[in-house]
Amino acid sequence: MAARAIASLTISFGLVSIPVKLYSATQASGGVSFNLLHKACGSRLRQQYVCIKEDVIVERADMVKGYEFSKDQYVTFTPEELKELEEKGTHTVEISEFVPAETVNPIYYDKAYYLAPDKGGAKPYALLAAGMRQTNKSALARWASRGKQYIVQLRAVEGGLVMQQLLYAPEVRNITEIDIPDAPVKDQELQLAKQLIAQISSDSFDPTEYEDDVKKRIETAVQKKVEGKEIEVSPSAPESGAQVIDLMEALRASVSKGGRRGQAAPAAEEPKTQRKPPKKVAVAAAPRVKTAKR
């Protein structure tokens, strides 16, 4: 089934206008949703809002939006006032600057869209895409939609242009806000880690090699329920504390197995200089992760 455009836009590139069509680059089919039901009769439940002061159900007609500026103190806004504050949509993506493509940290990435040339836009569309590819630049622009203003990045990819909606700086936390203690890394440990990385490295990312195993399990369980079958529930495993392991031995064992199941690898070469036996360190045992066979 051919994709359907969700909007028509115009890219403003200096004095050049490029008419484009906007397509969603992703589809919401990743999860399995459940409904809340009444346990006694199996009927769906309806959400209701209750006033915490009067303990009565409040209908939507009696609701108003408010902003809490102090503890339990609010200023309220009418729908007309909120509408006045919204950004007016212009259907224009106005490029403000070009930056090296790699300087936009992916942590700022939000929703992605595909752009395709609309009537009369094929030539300038191709020109903009080719220019960004050859200069290794991406475009930063502003776009207003649904009452909000967004900052977006236009990227030239194989086959066309992608418009990547970006997060604003205050929406992204800095990694310095979390506590990451310094830990010395020995040369011998680093050599084994690099060898393990090399063994399980690939030339490129192939998303088709990864599947949502949880979704598949849920779908299988749902089908069993539909067929009237029971689901076997495994007993909960007792929680255990951090497992004390020898980091060097764990690295050696991983390298000797080739990093993946069924792969053998030559023993890791280690420095010839004599070193003291490594101290045992407390490392939380990580869950086993299945990787796709190649």
**Pair 187, 263 in one domain:** yes
Question: Are 155 and 256 in a shared domain?
Answer: no
Average pLDDT, the chain: 83
- Domain termination residue (choose one: 137, 171, 205): 171
Distance CA 161, CA 133 (A): 10
Residues 96 and 15 in one domain: yes
Residue 46 has pLDDT above 60, yes or no: yes
The CB-side HSE value for 244 (13 A sphere, CA atoms) comes to 3
- Residue 260: what pLDDT? 59
In a domain, 252, yes or no: yes
In a domain, 177, yes or no: no
Residue appearing with tokens 């590819």? 133
Residues 167 and 189 in one domain: no
Among positive and negative, which fits the CA dihedral 9, 13, 15, 16? negative
Residue 224 makes CB contacts below 8 A (sequence gap 6+) with 230, 231
The CATH number of whichever domain residue 164 belongs to comes to 2.40.290.10
Calpha distance 254→200 (Å, rounded): 10
Q: Which domain holds residue 288?
A: 182-197+244-271+278-294
User: Within this chain, do residues 148 and 191 fall inside the same structural domain, yes or no?
Assistant: no
Q: Are residues 132 and 13 in the same domain?
A: yes
Query: How many domains, in total, are found in the chain?
Result: 2
Q: Establish if 2 belongs to a structural domain.
A: no
Domain shared by 138 and 258, yes or no: no
User: Which has the minimum average pLDDT: 59-68, 237-246, 249-258?
Assistant: 237-246
Residue 75 maps to a domain: no
75 or 242: which leads in pLDDT: 75
pLDDT digits (tens, 9 = 90+) for 93-107: 999 999 998 999 999
Domain membership flag for residue 43: no
Per-residue confidence (pLDDT) for residue 202, from 0 to 100: 87
Q: Which pLDDT belongs to residue 44?
A: 94
Domain check: are 190 and 267 in the same one?
A: yes
- CB of 247 closer than 8 Å to CB of 282: no
| Per-residue pLDDT reduced to its tens digit, 194-248 | 988 898 888 888 888 888 888 888 888 888 888 888 888 888 766 665 565 788 8
In contact, 84 and 70? CB cutoff 8 Å:
no
Residues 117, 123, 128, 130: is their CA dihedral positive or negative?
A: positive
Establish if 38 belongs to a structural domain.
no
Do 120 and 23 reside in the same domain of the chain?
yes
Return the pLDDT at 165.
94
pLDDT of amino acid 125: 95
DSSP helix/strand/coil, 285: coil
Within this chain, do residues 186 and 167 fall inside the same structural domain, yes or no? no
Q: Using an 8 Å Cβ cutoff, are 19 and 7 in contact?
A: no
Residues 101 and 132 in one domain: yes
pLDDT for position 138:
96
Of the candidate ranges 142-151, 167-176, 258-267, the one whose mean pLDDT is the lowest: 258-267
Together in a domain, 131 and 15: yes
For residue 13, what are its two tokens?
A: 């590139």
- Is 96 contained in some domain? yes
* pTM for the full predicted model: 0.68
The neighbouring-strand residues paired with 140 are 97, 153
Domain's final residue, options 113, 136, 171: 171
Residue 1 belongs to a domain: no
- pLDDT value for 205: 83
